[in-house]
Amino acid sequence: MAFVHVPAFSSRHHRACRYSVNIRSRPLAFSSVQDSTVQACVATTIEKEVEPTIPVSPASPVQLPVEHVEGLQSPGYIDDGYFGIPDSVQFWRSYVPAESSNLAEHIRQITSFVTNDPANAQYWFHTLTRFTVLSAARNGLRYLQTNEDTIVGRRHASTGAMITAQLKLLDQALHTLRQDYENVTRGTYKLPWDLTLQHSSQNVFSVLKLLGTFSRMSQRQADNMLQSEPDISVWLDGAFFPKYYKQTYHFQADGWMSSDSANIYDAQTELFFTGLQDAMERTAFCAMSPYIREAKPTRKLNIVEVAAGTGRFATFTRDNWPQADYVISDLSPFYLQKARENMNYWEKTQGKKYSNLGSVRYVHAPGEKLPLKSASADILYAVYVFHELPPEARRAVINEAARVLKPGGLFVLTDSVQRGDRVLEDFDLASFGDFNEPWYRTYIDENFGDVVCSSGNFEPYLKNQNLLTKTLSFKRTQA
């Protein structure tokens, strides 16, 4: 295969740069000591007081296959013309997993983190244990699957190939966690609240029960995947649910429509992302945090989460901004119930720390039509749902966000990377669409800078990325 060298792509040369002026030309109003550190999370084109602390980068720019030059039209590159781009976005774009060459540097860096702040050692203990256990479990499952004709199937790999694969996974996990941890040390967001075994294990009985449900549901899911015509129906029907919603996703038995599905969702995605999902989702906070500091609100914030699922992420949001009032919404009553349980657990174990806790309202509604007043929310965010929606539903959610947000409010869209965000993944990215994700292929080529801003309701704010997740954020234009 022939290769060409593609130089760093400059947003200034891009046709879309008409939108770039917003973040680049206007000085942001940061004030506190921590604020300068937040800037590193904002945009490299803003004068840097703090050198952005980015994980070790590969030695040279990535060599791209010739046909990838067309990739410069991919959303990942086009984003450069719209958003404030921190160095971490450039880093992930050209990231090539290393087998072992970065290991010494990772160990040196993590040791220095722990020495500088021993109280935070639990972060490393907890996240690395989680990664080790879950990646071993995932590799073990793959090893057991010998039938190459299935979607999940892999031939038995040689031991050497498995070790190489594991070392690469470790390298990317360490980059992901270092980026997450550095955001904590900069004050962009807090350490996760659930870093002790007490939270993850709660009690032996409930873990055993979860494992039982998990294996039963996984078996049904695997059986379904192996059928030439998988059963994608769900048992709960009704005019309330849009047509695209009335089918399974990921071949998950019951789709979003059962409490069994809601109970295993977090365990399943943890396994899929080898324990890195939380760190990736926290890129949403890299938009919310500087926005809130910049806005310096003098009254309570109203924060709305669309498609909150089991509400796990909502507990982290509330842990960071406990005084805000929240609306947590989803289209699945089963997932919404789980979100309530998760939030109740957070309140019971963490909420007492705060003298002035805001409220939470659970709302069963589609993101396209929220039963909320116009111009009532300061922040509206959605995590991992846009790739599940057909293009017209994405636009309806964006329009609804424009209606519900106050002028100047923040819209945060966190989801899978798209083409051009992780160049080496580009050729394989679309294949996730085969995993019973009917709208994924249209999602990865959607230019959200244009889709969101072309109505004139939004202007672009920031882009953030960690591993396989990106966050695009937008400000509601003033009326």
Ligand X SMILES: C[S@@+](CC[C@H](N)C(=O)[O-])C[C@H]1O[C@@H](n2cnc3c(N)ncnc32)[C@H](O)[C@@H]1O
SS3 413: strand
As measured in angstroms, the least distance from the Cβ of 306 to ligand X is 6
As measured in angstroms, the least distance from the Cβ of 352 to ligand X is 26
As measured in angstroms, the least distance from the Cβ of 332 to ligand X is 4
Q: Which is nearer to ligand X, 214 or 384 (CB)?
A: 384
Determine the size of the site formed for ligand X (CB under 6 A).
Answer: 20
As measured in angstroms, the least distance from the Cβ of 237 to ligand X is 15
As measured in angstroms, the least distance from the Cβ of 19 to ligand X is 27
Site for ligand X in 299-338 (CB under 6 A): 306-309, 312-313, 330-332, 335
As measured in angstroms, the least distance from the Cβ of 424 to ligand X is 24
Binding mask 248-267 for ligand X (x = CB under 6 A): --------x-----------
Q: Which is nearer to ligand X, 90 or 261 (CB)?
A: 261
Provide the residue type at 444 as one letter. I
As measured in angstroms, the least distance from the Cβ of 339 to ligand X is 9
Given 388, 400, 421, 426, the residue binding ligand X (CB under 6 A): 388
DSSP type of residue 47:
P
Q: Which residue has the tokens 């290769």?
A: 3
Residue 112 exposed, middle or buried by CB count within 10 Å (0-12, 13-18, 19+): exposed
CA-CA distance, 139 to 145, in Å (whole number)? 10
As measured in angstroms, the least distance from the Cβ of 379 to ligand X is 15
Number of H helices and E strands in the chain, helices first, is 18, 9
> In 3D, which of 358, 295, 350, 349 has the Cα closest to residue 324?
358
Q: Record the tokens describing residue 264, joined without a space.
A: 């295993």
**Full 3-state SS string of 145-174:** CCCCCCCCCCCCCCHHHHHHHHHHHHHHHH
Q: Which is nearer to ligand X, 174 or 336 (CB)?
A: 336
CA-CA distance, 204 to 301, in Å (whole number)? 38
Residue 443 exposed, middle or buried by CB count within 10 Å (0-12, 13-18, 19+): buried
Q: Which is nearer to ligand X, 172 or 252 (CB)?
A: 252
Q: Which is nearer to ligand X, 174 or 331 (CB)?
A: 331
Site for ligand X in 120-179 (CB under 6 A): none
Q: Record the tokens describing residue 115, joined without a space.
A: 């020495």
Q: What are phi and psi of 180, to 5 degrees?
A: -60, -50
> In 3D, which of 429, 417, 397, 410 has the Cα closest to residue 471?
417
User: Where does 68-158 have alpha helices with state H?
Assistant: 75-78, 87-93, 103-116, 121-144
Q: Record the tokens describing residue 230, joined without a space.
A: 């998988």
CA-CA distance, 286 to 385, in Å (whole number)? 19
Q: Which is nearer to ligand X, 48 or 395 (CB)?
A: 395
Q: What are phi and psi of 14, to 5 degrees?
A: -95, 145
Angle CA 442–443–448, to nearest 5: 120
As measured in angstroms, the least distance from the Cβ of 398 to ligand X is 12
Q: Is 284 in the site for ligand X (CB under 6 A)?
A: no
User: Where does 350-421 have alpha helices with state H?
Assistant: 391-404
As measured in angstroms, the least distance from the Cβ of 147 to ligand X is 27
Q: What are phi and psi of 410, to 5 degrees?
A: -110, 130
As measured in angstroms, the least distance from the Cβ of 376 to ligand X is 18
What contacts 398, CB < 8 A, 6 or more positions away? 411, 451, 452, 455, 458
Q: Which is nearer to ligand X, 42 or 306 (CB)?
A: 306
Q: Which is nearer to ligand X, 71 or 192 (CB)?
A: 192
Q: Which is nearer to ligand X, 83 or 265 (CB)?
A: 265
Site for ligand X in 348-387 (CB under 6 A): 366-368, 383-385
Binding mask 229-248 for ligand X (x = CB under 6 A): ----------------x---
Contact criterion met (CB below 8 Å) for 52 and 40: yes
Q: Which is nearer to ligand X, 82 or 245 (CB)?
A: 245
Please report, for residues 3, 149, 184, 194, 340, the alpha-carbon distance to residue 314 in angstroms, rounded to integers and kept in the order given: 44, 39, 18, 13, 10
Q: Which is nearer to ligand X, 110 or 468 (CB)?
A: 468
Site for ligand X in 195-224 (CB under 6 A): none
Residue nearest to ligand X (CB): 309
Q: Which is nearer to ligand X, 73 or 233 (CB)?
A: 233
As measured in angstroms, the least distance from the Cβ of 412 to ligand X is 12
> In 3D, which of 167, 171, 142 has the Cα closest to residue 157?
142
Chain residues binding ligand X by CB under 6 A are 245, 256, 306-309, 312-313, 330-332, 335, 366-368, 383-385, 388, 393
